[in-house]
């Protein structure tokens, strides 16, 4: 450790690329009586909670809150921000997550006071603009997905899955069908089987074949009258287009099953192909991936669910409509009920619509085309060092295997990913999908330039070369060394969860 005197919390380690000690918590800057700015001579009356809250709900002890000046508070959070990697800082090729740059234009629209100032309890007469916005966004989404109608309400992709499955269940109940199982490919995202279980169905796994696609013959063997439907995504979770989708749809529809499209991969196909045209009946899309809201850590998400005509009456309420120029909320005839308080995470809707309108139909198509182009470019650039798990033209992402480096030099996918953090890029997804040994799943997205992709490829290749040298390969196994926190014991972190500073020692 350095012996030089350093400012408290202001060490060089506040750079995202440098190692350092644990950042002090805000409590460590606390001094009794210190305050941030207050409005003097305010005419707001000080109220005593005892005047309006029952005494049994009041605390008897003072809350231990940090007492800091505004200056210290801002500096503390700025330092933390600078230690964090973010989509706004650089490339974030985290496969399956579509971590792309989100244009600030969408934020500007969403924070317009005419939208953000409307309280969710405002009656429809005072929220006509919002209702119109919701209806217009629904129209764009149904056009993009090839569906008849959509609910915007689910708060995320996983909740969209559950909503879609409950719609599927309501459909089967309405038809008097006895259905117990849902088919899911073995490459599926973990939320798929979890949602199936929550919806009260059993999961039946469909194996992938050597092409990385659904094994059509094995799927046919698993289809029977008990099958309520299949959940899959196209392009699938290894970044390949399911070429047999028409046959898959036929096999499922023949037993009155439904096809659920996990829209996590929508970024690959907007304006080029539509789930509805492929035979899907229900589609969720992650607005917080494809349409201008960051996935994870960026605030609330939104996972609208679009459905085919015969399923619209099961959609959750409240559902926005505009009739004769007047907007209102209705509940569809056989609605599965509410899935979110009020009208969902509306700020995400505003961002998505702003983004869609800014790009227009041609721009959205180009977005997906460039996402696919970027993935294929990067895949080809690193192919000699990182063989693709399935050597096909990929869609918006691809999976490579590090099994060779592991076998010959003991360097694993995790080591490559951690070292990438040291070189200024976010790591790709590792060990997913489970069907690929030592998997790195890379999704560069359309927002990265050729120069960025070239640099990323060069760094990945450097790491592969370093892996072949005894001395440098040892260093790879201990990285990252230049991030604020080095390698953590992830299994222990998950199993021995410490949520307070007091417990850290």
Ligand X SMILES: Cc1ncc(COP(=O)(O)O)c(C=O)c1O
Q: Which of 164, 271, 301, 484 is the binder for ligand X (CB under 6 A)? A: 301
What six digits make up the tokens of 45? 């009356």
Where are the strands (E) in 110-163, listed by range? 149-151
303 binds ligand X per the rule CB under 6 A: yes
Quick check: 212 and 392 in contact, CB under 8 A? yes
What six digits make up the tokens of 503? 């417990």
79 binds ligand X per the rule CB under 6 A: no
Query: Which residue's beta carbon is nearest to the bound ligand X?
Result: 157
How many residues of this chain interact with ligand X, rule: CB under 6 A?
14
154 binds ligand X per the rule CB under 6 A: no
156 binds ligand X per the rule CB under 6 A: yes
Q: Which of 189, 396, 406, 412 is the binder for ligand X (CB under 6 A)? A: 189
CA distances to 160, 201, 237, 285, 430 from 192, rounded to whole Å, are 10, 11, 12, 14, 19
Residues 211 to 270 in contact with ligand X, rule: CB under 6 A: 233, 237, 262, 264
Instruction: In angstroms, give the least distance from the CB of 188 to ligand X.
Output: 7
Instruction: In angstroms, give the least distance from the CB of 447 to ligand X.
Output: 17
406 binds ligand X per the rule CB under 6 A: no
Instruction: In angstroms, give the least distance from the CB of 299 to ligand X.
Output: 12
Report how far residue 332's alpha carbon sits from residue 307's, in angstroms, rounded to the nearest whole number: 13
Quick check: 259 and 246 in contact, CB under 8 A? no
Three-state secondary structure along 304-343? Answer: CEEECHHHHHHCCCCEEEEECCEEEEECCCCCCCCCCCCC
Report which of 321, 310, 248 is spatially closest to residue 281, judged by C-alpha positions: 310
Only one of the segments 151-159, 241-249, 307-315, 384-392 lies at the binding site for ligand X (rule: CB under 6 A); that segment is 151-159
Instruction: In angstroms, give the least distance from the CB of 496 to ligand X.
Output: 25
Rg (CA), the chain: 26
Sorted by sequence, the CB contacts under 8 Å of residue 103 that are 6+ apart come out as 292, 355, 358
Instruction: In angstroms, give the least distance from the CB of 97 to ligand X.
Output: 5
What pairs with residue 259 in β-bridges? 230
Q: Between 84 and 123, how does the x/- string for binding to ligand X read (CB under 6 A)?
A: ------------xx--------------------------
97 versus 427: smaller Cβ distance to ligand X: 97
276 binds ligand X per the rule CB under 6 A: no
Instruction: In angstroms, give the least distance from the CB of 294 to ligand X.
Output: 11
145 versus 473: smaller Cβ distance to ligand X: 145
Note if the bond before 318 is cis, omega within 30 degrees: yes
Report which of 307, 264, 319 is spatially closest to residue 166, judged by C-alpha positions: 307
Contact residues for ligand X, defined by CB under 6 A: 96-97, 156-158, 189, 191, 233, 237, 262, 264, 286, 301, 303
């Amino acid at each position: 450790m350095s012996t030089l005197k350093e400012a408290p919390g202001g060490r060089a380690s506040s750079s995202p690329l440098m190692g350092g000690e644990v950042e002090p918590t805000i409590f460590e800057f606390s001094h009794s009586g210190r305050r941030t700015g207050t409005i003097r001579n305010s005419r707001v009356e000080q109220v005593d909670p005892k005047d309006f809250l029952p005494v049994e709900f009041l605390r008897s002890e003072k809350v231990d809150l940090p007492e800091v000046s505004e200056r210290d508070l801002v500096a503390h959070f700025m330092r933390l921000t600078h230690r964090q990697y973010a989509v706004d800082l650089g490339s974030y090729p985290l496969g399956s997550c579509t971590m792309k740059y989100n244009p600030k234009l969408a934020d500007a629209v969403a924070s317009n006071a005419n939208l953000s100032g409307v309280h969710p309890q405002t009656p429809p007469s005072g929220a006509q603009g919002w209702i119109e916005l919701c209806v217009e966004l629904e129209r764009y989404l149904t056009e993009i997905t090839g569906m008849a109608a959509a609910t915007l309400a689910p708060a995320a992709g996983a909740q969209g899955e559950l909503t879609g499955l409950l719609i599927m269940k309501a459909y089967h109940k309405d038809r008097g069908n006895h259905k117990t199982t849902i088919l899911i490919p073995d490459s599926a995202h973990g939320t798929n089987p979890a949602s199936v279980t929550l919806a009260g169905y059993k999961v039946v796994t469909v194996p992938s074949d050597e092409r990385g696609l659904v094994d059509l013959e094995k799927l046919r063997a698993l289809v029977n009258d008990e099958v309520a439907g299949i959940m899959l995504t196209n392009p699938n979770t290894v970044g390949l287009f399911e070429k047999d989708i028409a046959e898959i749809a036929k096999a499922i529809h023949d037993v009155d099953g439904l096809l659920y499209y996990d829209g996590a991969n929508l970024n690959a196909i907007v304006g080029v192909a539509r789930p509805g045209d492929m035979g899907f009946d229900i589609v969720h899309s992650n607005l917080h991936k494809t349409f201008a809201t960051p996935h994870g850590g960026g605030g609330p998400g939104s996972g609208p669910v679009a459905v085919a005509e015969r399923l619209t009456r099961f959609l959750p309420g409240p559902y926005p409509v505009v009739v004769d120029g007047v907007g209102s909320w209705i509940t569809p005839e056989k609605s599965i009920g509410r899935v979110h308080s009020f009208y969902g995470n509306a700020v995400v809707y505003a961002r998505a619509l702003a983004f869609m309108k800014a790009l227009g139909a041609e721009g959205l198509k180009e977005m997906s085309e460039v996402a696919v182009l970027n993935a294929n470019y990067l895949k080809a650039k690193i192919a000699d060092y990182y063989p693709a798990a399935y050597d096909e033209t990929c869609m918006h992402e691809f999976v490579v295997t590090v099994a060779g480096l592991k076998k010959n030099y003991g360097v694993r996918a995790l080591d490559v990913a951690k070292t990438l953090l040291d070189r200024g890029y976010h790591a790709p997804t590792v060990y997913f999908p489970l069907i690929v040994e030592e998997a790195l799943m890379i999704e560069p997205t359309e927002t990265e330039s050729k120069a960025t992709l070239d640099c990323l490829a060069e760094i990945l290749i450097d790491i592969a070369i370093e892996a072949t040298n005894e001395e440098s390969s040892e260093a790879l196994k201990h990285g990252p060394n230049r991030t604020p926190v080095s390698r953590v014991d992830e299994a222990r972190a998950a199993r021995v969860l410490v949520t307070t500073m007091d417990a850290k020692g």
